[in-house]
Amino acid sequence: MGLSMPKRAVAFVALVTVAGATVLGTSLLHWHSDDLLKFGCYLLIAILASTMKVRLPGMESTMSVHFLFVLLGVLELSLAETLVIGCTAALAQCVWRTKQRPDPVKVAFNVLGMTSIAIAATYFAYHVSAGFLKNSMPLLLLVAACTYFLANTAPIAIVIALSEGRPLRGIWSETYFWSIPFYLIGAAVVGLVSFSNRFVGWQGALLVVPIMYWIYRSYHLYLGRLEDEKRRVEIEERHVQAEKRHVEEVCALHLRTIEGLALAIDAKDHNTHGHLHRVRTYAVAIAEDLGLVEQDMDALRAAALLHDIGKLAVPDHIINKPGRLTPEEFEKMKIHPIVGAEILEKVAFPYPVAPIVRSHHEKWNGEGYPDGLKGEEIPIGARILTAVDCLDALASDRQYRKALPLGEAMKQIVEEAGISFDPQVVEVLQRRYLELESLAVHSLEETLKDSLSFSHTVERGQRPAAGFELDLKRRGNQTDFLSSIASARQEAHTLFELSQDLGNSLSLDETLSLVAMRLRKLVPYDSIVAFVRKGDLLLPEFVSGDNFRLLSSLQIPVGTGLCGWVAENARPIINGNPAVETGFAHGKTSTSEPRSALAVPLEGVTGLVGVLALYQAAPDAFTSDHLRVLQVITSRVALFIENALKYREAESSATIDYLTGMANARALSMHLEQELARCKREHSTVAVIVCDLDGFKQINDRFGHLAGDKVLKLLAGWMGQACRRYDYAARMGGDEFVIIAPNMTEKAVSERAAHLSAMAQKAGREVCGADFLSLSAGAAFYPQDGIEAEKLLAEADRKMYAAKQLHYERDGTIVMGGIRLAPSAALN
């Protein structure tokens, strides 16, 4: 007890124990007894009564009926005799039939502390009150019983409060207050015994034993019923909690099922994620306005998220097609309400979700699908969903068209009221659509966090168990035999000409121009674009025909728009809508604006190279025969583009310095020859400036070659910024750079050299924190110093080395081949 209690509780226990022991010891020092036999009988009966104990609810403490003889002793015995009776009975109560070995501290606190203090307090309260209430025995007994009750229960309640930090009043009222009738009844019994003793003597007190047993049994049964009732209530509460948890789990399961299925739809059709949540926001608000019951509301919430789940049965290329559907494709699309309803019937929702999903494409006039329901035959949830679904579809970007303004979309819905949509639903939607749009935007911001991730790459699994498909391409529909023969002859001739064209040159522009010219004979077009894939973008590499500026500016992310869809799915598209292309300018309609597109993927050896797109101003201008002809030549075009891009890359790497990105020595030589030829034609001048870093070897030696490389890259970047637009800077090798500056005077060269020297100093400080890097420069001028490239480079190199040998002069300037440079020139 003492080890587990806080210090303040231990101090209180010690104080009560010491005080009680003092009271008991003092009383025993003044012991006297008028009738030892009477005292002995009362003591034995009290000990017997102490074995009749009951356990207090919610505690380890017990209570017995020996207090009857404590009260009787207060009335008829001395204080010392009463203390002996009470403490002995309390001791017997502590050790009689206990489940655990009694704690000495608890025993001392209960016997010496609480019991002694309670008996002494009761004794003095009774005898003091007797001076004021001489002829009122009931009131005296009431005072004695209440005093004993308070003094016997308050200390243990205080200990619990100090140990557990709980309110004293709450502990006392919950644990002990219910027993006050027990003390009051005991006081009444003691009063009757005391009254009978006046006539029959103290021996009549022996008759109280059966009464004690009756009181004991009564309270034992009473507490038993309390425990049974408590257990019954706890069992009922557990059942209620279990049922509540079950209901919550079922509701949560349905909600997770709905959300999971909605994510499944999102995985199939990425454009529907925001659409589903906007539709739910609109539909629920309209249903509340129309006063739908809770069950119908729950069904509509689920159906709004799941109405497109049947699209799982529709092929991807139909769902994401950025053009109008063919009749065959529309037949495939029309099955999604039926499939969706069949899927949701398996879920066994506690509300009717499947009928709403099945009927969400029905029309008010009976011309919808799949069942041709009319008017109020259509479930109210489906009528709401149909109108809301159509409004959001019109106001959102889709693969086959751009979004309409919300107000214009609402006008189209109003025009269809009584034809396609329930007029009552349209009236509510028209009244509240602006308010609901703001709610939907806010709701969508929260739901975007739940979007699926499609960027994860699975490293394991190199091939399917059945192997890869070998024949990836199939021919389209057959046409009549005369057209087939004519097309075959044209294809053979075109293929022969293109084979020759594609093999003659590796120039992209030149060869693609020939391809465009020959292709126009077979597939008429107004514009042609060859897009090349660079990362996740399609960039126009070759553009010819109308709308050149518009088509040249396109940058199409793979997976968006018409050509982006073709690139992502590696499938052609015929008569797609160019207006859905990302970056397509939408202004006033012109006669030359393309309205139909034929796009095919260009697949090379290493994968997708790009997309070849043909455009016409007329709608539906391309035929399946055009597509077939284009597919014949695209494999060769893709291979040529792939090879030409590799050649361009190799050519670029041959003229570009790999470290700094500047032109290298080979490129410098070619450019200098071209520049000298221009100077001869135009009788102009050009300066050739050769620069070399001083102290660069120290950087490599002290800080390593990586630091040296960093200095070179930094200086090269600054040097390019310092040059004029028509100047030409190159790295000759090592730490040597050359600048070709047309029409630059000697004074301007001096200023440029000083500027470059300051750049070199700053580069050294930034990378190494040292100020020992500088730059020497020499300049040669055409035609004064020579008319040939080699002679000009040699002269500039000689002057540069001459400047290297010189040191600072006394006036603080640097000498460079006869040109005086100020070393203090600062880099802006």
Q: Mutual orientation of helices 423-447 and 406-415 as an angle, nearest 10°?
A: 150
Query: What would the pLDDT profile of 198-209 be if each residue is shown by its tens digit?
Result: 766 666 666 666
Q: Mutual orientation of helices 665-682 and 624-655 as an angle, nearest 10°?
A: 90
Tokens at 59, concatenated: 């505690």
Query: What would the pLDDT profile of 784-815 be if each residue is shown by its tens digit?
Result: 988 888 899 999 988 888 887 774 443 344 44
Backbone angles phi, psi at 386, to 5 degrees: -60, -50
Question: CA nearest 364: which of 409, 296, 414, 417?
Answer: 417
370 prior amide bond cis, ω within 30: yes
pLDDT at position 479, please?
44
pLDDT at position 828, please?
31
DSSP secondary structure of 289-310:
HHT--HHHHHHHHHHHHHTTGG
Tokens at 476, concatenated: 């389209």
- Show the low-confidence residues of the chain (pLDDT under 70): 1-4, 53-65, 97, 99, 134-135, 175, 177-178, 197, 199-209, 211-212, 215-217, 219-220, 223, 247-248, 251-252, 254-274, 399-400, 443-506, 585-591, 651-653, 807-828
Residue type, 109: F
pLDDT at position 469, please?
40
Cβ atoms of 202 and 35 within 8 Å: the answer is yes
Question: CA nearest 121: which of 94, 149, 161?
Answer: 149
Instruction: Give the residue numbers marked as catalytic.
Output: 735
For residue 644, the number of C-alpha atoms closer than 13 Å in the C-beta half-sphere is 21
pLDDT at position 50, please?
75
Tokens at 742, concatenated: 């047309």
Question: CA nearest 339: which of 263, 422, 270, 261?
Answer: 261
Bridge partner list, 691:
737, 777
pLDDT at position 348, please?
73
Indicate the helix (H) or strand (E) that contains 615: strand 607-616
Indicate the helix (H) or strand (E) that contains 421: none
Work out whether strand 736-742 and strand 686-694 pair parallel, antiparallel, or are unpaired. antiparallel
Tell me the Cα Rg of the chain.
51
Question: At CA 583, angle to CA 407 and CA 591, rounded to 5?
Answer: 75
Tokens at 408, concatenated: 């214009």
pLDDT at position 818, please?
34
Question: What span, in angstroms and rounded, lies between the C-alpha atoms of 634 and 630?
Answer: 6
CA 28 to chain CA centroid, Å, is 78
Residue 348, CA distances (Å) to 252, 351, 378 in order:
14, 8, 21
Tokens 């001459």 belong to 802
Tokens at 735, concatenated: 């730490």
Tokens at 349, concatenated: 């929702």
Reduced to 3 states (helix: H, G, I; strand: E, B; else coil), residue 693 is strand
pLDDT at position 181, please?
76
**Helix intervals (H) in 553-690:** 561-569, 624-655, 665-682
Q: What is the DSSP letter of 322?
A: S
Question: What span, in angstroms and rounded, lies between the C-alpha atoms of 324 and 269?
Answer: 17
Backbone angles phi, psi at 144, to 5 degrees: -65, -45
